[in-house]
Amino acid sequence: MDVTIKTALISVSDKTGIVEFAKALAQAGVKIISTGGTAKTLAQTGVAVTSIDAVTGFPEMMDGRVKTLHPKIHGGLLALRDRPEHVEAMRQHGISPIDLVCVNLYPFERTVANPNCTLEEAIENIDIGGPSMIRSAAKNHKFVTVVTSPDQYPRVVEQMRANNGAVGGRLREEFARIAFGLTATYDAAIAKYLNGQAGIEFPERVALALTKQTALRYGENPHQTAALYKLPRSTEPCISNGKLMVADTEISFNNLLDANAAFELVKEFDEPAAVVVKHLNPCGCAIDADINVAYRKAYEGDVTSAFGGIISLNRTVDVELARAIMESYSRFGKALGAEGFFAEVIIAPKFNEDAIEIIRTLKIWGSRVRLIETGPIDRAKIDAGEYDVRHIVGGLLLQKRDLVGWEPGVLTFPTRAKPTPEQLEDLRIAWLVAKHAKSNTIVLAKNKRILGVGVGQMNRVESGQLAIRHAGDEAKGSVMASDAFFPFPDNVENAAAAGIAAIVQPGGSKKDEDVIAAADKHGIAMVFTGKRHFRH
């Protein structure tokens, strides 16, 4: 059913495009009712406006807190025009129908994102009248068009011009659905802020306010549909906030999961660092004063697994680095027996224009690789209040993010042998990589790069054996990290047989004394962190 727009109520905080929209409505003969600053803006540009108090008979009062909360507004929005008793009630009380509501809300999220925002300022930016009008109009979308975003203005105008001033039922229904999503996320943002102010980590009810960014080709498998949603207030350098450069192939659900894993690991390092991830697990990681060297070392950590992987860097990709990545097979992989190379995604704070051209044209796969530019990495912007959310059927598990990194001040050294400064640096790298790999995890490192990673095994011994086997002869003189404590000395014995010189693990096992004794027997230096990093 088409509904002709005769009267529109406009009250917006974001005035983007509102003058042009109002003029288009006015040209179609629509009477425009407006409030406060919006009415002033429209009147100054020559749009004929009826003030809200002229409709309600009451002035705007209480610093604008009360202006649209009135029966003549909500009656005009909620009345069912095909019910005689509703029409009669409108006639008796002098209520005129309102056919279109154009409202966007006080900028609550933008206000509280300011670190200097006070509680009083936050409260004043909680919109009451706006959500009320949106909900009234959306509920009665059979007769009322509810417009909540500037990007909807052209669609309304186009449809009115094509239908003699009327808006169709499908568009009204679509906009109503979007409107209820808007008010839900708005209330969720308010609740999140107030819970934070009260120091409530896990409130009685949690609503996750997410905004759809894009539909994805499919989910983990082609028979699953998927989409990317973003937390509106997030300013942290991350994959969700990254800029996806144009590529011939769309980014996928799995690409985004892997890209997030790669970038969150590379963010752990202040030094130039490179990470290669495959199926959510790091298969290469290295640091060096030269980012080009760091990349080469990370790639060489496991050239087989790097095929089709995700590359993440914490420095700008310039021409030299772009060439190093694109020529990985011909320069490094061939000598190491790799069957070839391509990357699904490359992530960096910035890509130089010339570097992008090299990536796109140097190799045939370059046109397909997705580039994500994250902007400068600033760990001060990490949102410690954001939940780590895991899904189980019928519910969600919420926990605080694991933001514990390398903590030199809390390390203990229970063995007679102590790690050298060089070993301690390798232990740090191995420990941080273990934090970002699936448990059970064992990581070997030497000379500031990862040599072998064993992940996701049902027992820690097999993870250790995998890591040692992958490192091969290079395991001798390397260091080992375990994401959780050793329940028995078996991994220490295996480490000793491989020539591993130092181990970092949380400690805390009932068998710690046996584990320490085994390390002492073989002259292995051991470090306890006091914290574990399970990652299921």
Q: How far is CA 529 from CA 211, 281, 353, 401, in A?
A: 39, 22, 43, 18
> Are the C-beta atoms of 183 and 189 separated by less than 8 Å?
no
Query: How many CB atoms neighbour CB 518 within 10 A?
Result: 22
Q: In sequence order, what are the residues at sequence separation of 6 or more whose Cβ sits closer than 8 angstroms to the Cβ of residue 279?
A: 258
Q: Rounded to whole angstroms, how far apart are CA atoms 25 and 305?
A: 59
Establish how many alpha carbons lie within 13 A of residue 416's alpha carbon, considering only the half-sphere containing its beta carbon: 7
Q: 229: phi > 0 → left, psi -120 to 50 → alpha, else beta; which?
A: beta
Q: Rounded to whole angstroms, how far apart are CA atoms 446 and 452?
A: 10
Strands 281-287 and 387-392: unpaired
Nearest Cα residue to 406 out of 278, 501, 270: 270
Query: How many CB atoms neighbour CB 216 within 10 A?
Result: 18
Burial of 381 (0-12, 13-18, 19+ CB in 10 A): middle
Please state whether the peptide bond connecting residue 292 to the residue before it is cis, i.e. omega within 30 degrees of 0.
no
DSSP 88-119: HHHHHTTPPP--EEEE----HHHHHHSTT--H
Which residue numbers are catalytic? 139, 279
Chain-centroid distance of CA 37 in Å reads 34
DSSP code, position 510 = T
